[in-house]
Structure 1
Amino acid sequence: MAAPVRAGSAAPVPAKARARHVAQQIPEEILGNAELREAAEALPPNYNFEIPKTVWRIRQARARKVALQMPEGLLMFACTIADIIERFTDAEAVVMGDVTYGACCVDDYTARALGADFLVHYGHSCLIPIDSTQGLKMLYVFVDIKIDASHFLETIRFNFAAGTSLALVSTIQFVSTVQAVSQELRSQYKVCVPQCKPLSPGEILGCTSPRLAQDTDAVVYLGDGRFHLESIMIANPGIPAYRYDPYSKVFSQEHYSHERMHRARQDAIRTATRARCWGLILGTLGRQGSPSILQHLELRLRALGRPYVRVLLSEIFPSKLKLFPEVDVWVQVACPRLSIDWGEAFSKPLLTPYEAAVALQDIEWQQPYPMDFYASQSLGPWTAGEAAAAPAGLEESLSTVAAALAEHGPFDGLLGFSQGAALAAMVCALRARGDPRFPVAFAVLVAGFASRAPAHGHFYREPIALPTLHVVGDTDAVIAAPLSRELAQCFVEPVVLTHPGGHFIPAAAAQKKAYLEFLERFCPGQGQAERAGEV
């Protein structure tokens, strides 16, 4: 027992005697419970199901009904774990038997529908934040699996010469082994345990893998099967890949047909560019589907005047999609690998959101093929990591401008200032492409800039053939002059008016004269200037 300390006094503890504070430490009454340890012995000793932690967290949350979700490979242990929970807590345990492919399949929606107030998800990393489950308490159990690391080490030493540059990756079950092995190998090899945030160092998913340094000699994957390994192979086509199966202890070099995959996906994209009616599939298997990505796709198709239909599906089969003969192309917001691996089995193109962005000319085809679906740093709002943070409201703003032109027009041109100039430039791009909503002949853009959002790149891909006057302030501290000049370069023969001031619309005599000269080009009976240039 700690010695009492009087109020106002101090009882300093020598530095060496200070006890380490462990946040959320499991109480000894659970860790030292002999009956609980005995019950847990019914589970494989090399599989860490974190039973004491689970019991403690359920008790701490005072949960009444606990849902257990795990991949099929672990379901054989579900009843044993459920019995332990019901014996050592006051909660009822419910086993969720629907298929669980990965970390994206966390099914808090169904758990809540079952009346559960606590969900334990086994075998995957924390891809869905625990604070986004709308009040349902969450616990992720990685199920770390201990293996014969010494054999794995000796296998690497036998097959690779000292000094080789190696990247070690795995699934979440073996990440701790990868970390330990990497430390052992660093004295002989150049070892990298890459990270693709928000994943753990060394962890890869079937749809998310890091790009490796070009001087990497080989990537070594610890795990059974090829699904996850193929992800990092697709992302790094020029680096030899090897797999060590921890169960069979077989070490093999693996290969992937990159050319065939690229050809198949590009063929699907080309077909999609001719499509009239688009089908948007939102995956409903747990959290597989991203409403933000779906919304982004809807906004793009609406802006382009492409008809589309939404379909909600837990699993996507060719026979199911054949029931929609009027749909010319499908975009599935579920699992990118469904399109990559099995897209050719479908009678109509089945695109990923990234491939849809290519088909809609929002982005160029990428080399290598991006495997960044859940990456924090990804290409754009067609990925789960970027969609939530993507710029919003553009289509609504464009619709507002179109409605004003229709209701209060006709207007000859547009005047935009700062953010308004950025929006006006996008209107000019749409007008130059023949969009009938914006019947304007010119624009005056003051302190404008081009949007940096990847989703807006298509506005500037082709030179915008609409007459414009760009007003640039040399001392503008809000929109720097180079940004406004960069926007001007997106147009065909722009007129650029510079002034020594900052972030305002200049109205001195020299500027007024320049405005009049530009506007006179559009008066009745006046022809456009033969050449535009610096004013």
Structure 2
Amino acid sequence: MADSTAFSSSGEDAIARAVALDASEARSTTNLSPSEFAEYYEIPQTAEVIRSSGFKRTALQFPDELLHDSVPIYRRLKREIDEGQELYVLADTSYGSCCADEVAAQHVDADAMIHYGHACMSKTYRLPVIYVFGKKQIDIDDCVSKLVASLRSSDFLSDSTPHKNVVFRHDVAYSHQADAIADTLRDVLCADNVTVSYSPIPRRLDPSPSPPHTDTAQSNTETNGSSVVAHTINSPAESDSPILYVGPSSLHLTNLIMTHSSTPIHSYDPTTRETQLESTRTNKLLMRRYGVVQKARDADVFGILVGTLGVASYLPLITHLRQTLKRAHKKSYTISVGKLNPAKLANFMEIECFVLVACPENSLIEAKDFFRPIVTPFELQVALQSEPQWTGRYVLDFDQLLAEGEAGAEDDAVSKGAADGEEDLDRPMFSLVTGKYRHARRYGDGSEVTKSDVTSGSSAVIIRNQDGTVATLKDSAAGEFLQSRTFRGLETRVGLDEPSYLEQGRSGIAKGYGDDHGRE
């Protein structure tokens, strides 16, 4: 059962709420010497980049589990950078801590950011970002031996295929040992005629337009001076290759499983030194997400949740979602509420389903405590199909969603033109959630949304009648919901109440008021 306070909160909760920390992350630097501490966080290299790039204001972003190291890092960096260069610590993120918080950095007019700890490596939108992942320890020999043993147990190495390939992936905290692990894997697997594909994770990203690219195991960038060239790890021929993942169970691993549901994934946790085949979890994850998609099919009013302001292409994707919903005769509202919780979203009772636009690691929300389902943009595209077909393929990349959305819109236009006049707008739809037929509410005429619609659509629920009450527009789902409620808030009573006379109020202080109304 959900918590009884899921849809309400007090001011005290914001102060007394405990922050969940990663214990292994929090104690990883406790016993380090000053030189080891500087090496762990790459302080000399970071200071050199700040000096050589001439950044005047640099924002240092820390997740909650690394806040205890923020002051020592700040002081050491301050001693090594030039005079006139300023540093600012960002202790609270607007959205997920894995994303570069460019909104908070702009509050101090920063011209660069340094992101510490785990990162989703999403392409930035405004500022150049330097990533400092930390250097967690790992036993390379144990890691390689157990990953190879896991491959052998799956009969992959005994296959007679002449050219076999595996893809090496890892958590960002092990980037400093990734090259050594990849080389050791190649040495061990070369006897079995197996090649190992690996592409290093960059340490610095500069904002630049990124062209759409195909679905791959990981979208990455290579840095060459100040330029950034987008590339992908896997070629189309490697899409079915087994993946060897090094890192703990995390959102990154979960998204890897979702986006590669047909690919075996062998994971190694350096903390527990255990290896397992993660692909067995895929069916359960996809089944839960498919259930959410069915709930989205029954919805007519959608809320587009802005879950990031720093990932590139988030604005074009939001516009694309509004166009897609309008073509499907659905009503949409764009909402930005920062970090999500049930209490915030419960304020929008007129919305039947939410679509979250966020980085890949924050896109999948298990909405058991939320009043309404929360889907990803890809799941929305599946839900809006007249006959939804889901083969298990999953997409979280913004650029690919936009590219596929444009291609799908062209196909829909062609099919609509071919079958003009044959579509039955009033036909009932069968709901797999309720097991009954339903008639969908239809909003708008299904035409393309324009830029003026995006900028002026927010005034739909504030138009009032002559008596001061909220007017109900033809396509205002929020206005219709407000009119159907028993309590509609405090409304003006124009012409019904006479104005009262002005009177002298109480005087004094809170300890003891005096009732002085001008009388003796």
Same fold judged by TM-score > 0.5?
yes
Match of 1:321 among 318, 338, 345: 345
Match of 1:70?
Answer: 62
Aligned mates of 2:246, 2:221 — CA distance in 1:
15
1:53 aligns with 2:45: yes
1:149 aligns with 2:140: yes
Q: Check 1:84–1:319 CA distance in 2 against 1; reply closer, same or farther (3 A cut).
A: same
Task: Tell me which amino acid in the other structure corresponds to 1:170.
Answer: H
Can you list the C-alpha shifts for 1:269-318, whole angstroms capped at 9, x where unaligned?
33323322221111146548811111111122233442222110221222
Report how far residue 347 of structure 1 moved.
2.5
Match of 1:184 among 159, 183, 187: 187
Match of 1:455?
Answer: 409
Match of 2:103 among 106, 109, 123: 109
Task: Tell me which amino acid in the other structure corresponds to 1:95.
Answer: V
Query: What SS does the corresponding residue of 2:130 show, helix, strand or coil?
Result: strand
Match of 1:97?
Answer: 91
Match of 1:173?
Answer: 173
Report how far residue 213 of structure 1 moved.
4.7
Q: Check 1:335–1:316 CA distance in 2 against 1; reply closer, same or farther (3 A cut).
A: farther
Report how far residue 326 of structure 1 moved.
0.8
Counting only pairs closer than 5 Å after superposition, residues 322-401 of structure 1 correspond to structure 2 as: 322-335=346-359, 340-361=364-385, 364-374=388-398, 378=400, 380-381=401-402, 386=403
Task: Tell me which amino acid in the other structure corresponds to 2:382.
Answer: V
Question: Any conservation in 1 of the 2:147–2:267 contact (CA below 8 Å)?
Answer: no
Q: Check 1:323–1:125 CA distance in 2 against 1; reply closer, same or farther (3 A cut).
A: closer
75-84 or 453-462, larger mean C-alpha shift: 453-462
Counting only pairs closer than 5 Å after superposition, residues 134-533 of structure 1 correspond to structure 2 as: 136=127, 138-145=129-136, 147-161=138-152, 166-175=166-175, 176-177=178-179, 178-189=181-192, 190-193=194-197, 196=216, 198-199=219-220, 213=238, 216=241, 218-254=242-278, 256-284=280-308, 286-287=310-311, 290-335=314-359, 340-361=364-385, 364-374=388-398, 378=400, 380-381=401-402, 386=403, 453-461=407-415, 464-466=418-420
Report how far residue 109 of structure 1 moved.
2.3
Question: Any conservation in 2 of the 1:212–1:236 contact (CA below 8 Å)?
Answer: no
Aligned mates of 2:370, 2:379 — CA distance in 1:
16
Match of 2:123?
Answer: 128
Aligned mates of 1:95, 1:253 — CA distance in 2:
40
From the CA coordinates, give the structure whose radius of gyration is larger: 1
Q: Check 1:42–1:170 CA distance in 2 against 1; reply closer, same or farther (3 A cut).
A: closer
Question: Any conservation in 2 of the 1:170–1:221 contact (CA below 8 Å)?
Answer: yes
Q: Check 1:114–1:214 CA distance in 2 against 1; reply closer, same or farther (3 A cut).
A: closer
Query: What SS does the corresponding residue of 2:191 show, helix, strand or coil?
Result: coil
Question: Any conservation in 1 of the 2:267–2:275 contact (CA below 8 Å)?
Answer: yes
Q: Check 1:371–1:144 CA distance in 2 against 1; reply closer, same or farther (3 A cut).
A: farther
Question: Any conservation in 2 of the 1:243–1:251 contact (CA below 8 Å)?
Answer: yes
Query: What SS does the corresponding residue of 2:220 show, helix, strand or coil?
Result: coil
Question: Any conservation in 2 of the 1:288–1:335 contact (CA below 8 Å)?
Answer: no
Q: Check 1:265–1:308 CA distance in 2 against 1; reply closer, same or farther (3 A cut).
A: same
| Gaps in structure 2 of 5+ consecutive residues | 1-31, 200-215, 223-231, 422-520
Aligned mates of 2:128, 2:239 — CA distance in 1:
43
Query: What SS does the corresponding residue of 1:268 show, helix, strand or coil?
Result: helix
Task: Tell me which amino acid in the other structure corresponds to 2:132.
Answer: V
Query: What SS does the corresponding residue of 1:237 show, helix, strand or coil?
Result: coil
Q: Check 1:155–1:126 CA distance in 2 against 1; reply closer, same or farther (3 A cut).
A: closer
Query: What SS does the corresponding residue of 1:309 show, helix, strand or coil?
Result: strand
Q: Check 1:66–1:314 CA distance in 2 against 1; reply closer, same or farther (3 A cut).
A: same
| Gaps in structure 1 of 5+ consecutive residues | 1-37, 202-207, 392-452, 468-535
1:83 aligns with 2:67: no
Aligned mates of 2:246, 2:385 — CA distance in 1:
38
TM-score scaled to structure 2, two decimals?
0.57
Q: Check 1:335–1:322 CA distance in 2 against 1; reply closer, same or farther (3 A cut).
A: farther
Question: Any conservation in 1 of the 2:99–2:121 contact (CA below 8 Å)?
Answer: no
Question: Any conservation in 2 of the 1:231–1:371 contact (CA below 8 Å)?
Answer: no
TM-score scaled to structure 1, two decimals?
0.56
Q: Check 1:157–1:44 CA distance in 2 against 1; reply closer, same or farther (3 A cut).
A: farther
Query: What SS does the corresponding residue of 1:342 show, helix, strand or coil?
Result: coil
Can you list the C-alpha shifts for 1:446-492, whole angstroms capped at 9, x where unaligned?
xxxxxxx233332344672349xxxxxxxxxxxxxxxxxxxxxxxxx
Aligned mates of 2:319, 2:302 — CA distance in 1:
14
Aligned mates of 2:237, 2:368 — CA distance in 1:
29
Identity %: 23
Match of 1:501?
Answer: none
Question: Any conservation in 2 of the 1:145–1:173 contact (CA below 8 Å)?
Answer: yes
325-334 or 192-201, larger mean C-alpha shift: 192-201
Task: Tell me which amino acid in the other structure corresponds to 1:92.
Answer: E
Query: What SS does the corresponding residue of 2:330 show, helix, strand or coil?
Result: coil
Question: Any conservation in 2 of the 1:331–1:352 contact (CA below 8 Å)?
Answer: yes
Query: What SS does the corresponding residue of 1:154 show, helix, strand or coil?
Result: helix
Aligned mates of 1:286, 1:88 — CA distance in 2:
29
Aligned mates of 2:272, 2:188 — CA distance in 1:
22
Match of 2:112?
Answer: 118
Report how far residue 236 of structure 1 moved.
3.0
Aligned mates of 1:233, 1:82 — CA distance in 2:
37
Report how far residue 215 of structure 1 moved.
6.2
Query: What SS does the corresponding residue of 1:111 show, helix, strand or coil?
Result: helix
Question: Any conservation in 1 of the 2:95–2:307 contact (CA below 8 Å)?
Answer: no
Query: What SS does the corresponding residue of 2:418 show, helix, strand or coil?
Result: coil
Two-structure CA RMSD over aligned residues (Å)? 3.7
The count of aligned residue pairs is 347
Aligned mates of 2:111, 2:167 — CA distance in 1:
41
Aligned mates of 2:244, 2:396 — CA distance in 1:
20
Aligned mates of 1:212, 1:101 — CA distance in 2:
36
Question: Any conservation in 2 of the 1:170–1:223 contact (CA below 8 Å)?
Answer: yes
Task: Tell me which amino acid in the other structure corresponds to 2:92.
Answer: D
Q: Check 1:304–1:238 CA distance in 2 against 1; reply closer, same or farther (3 A cut).
A: closer
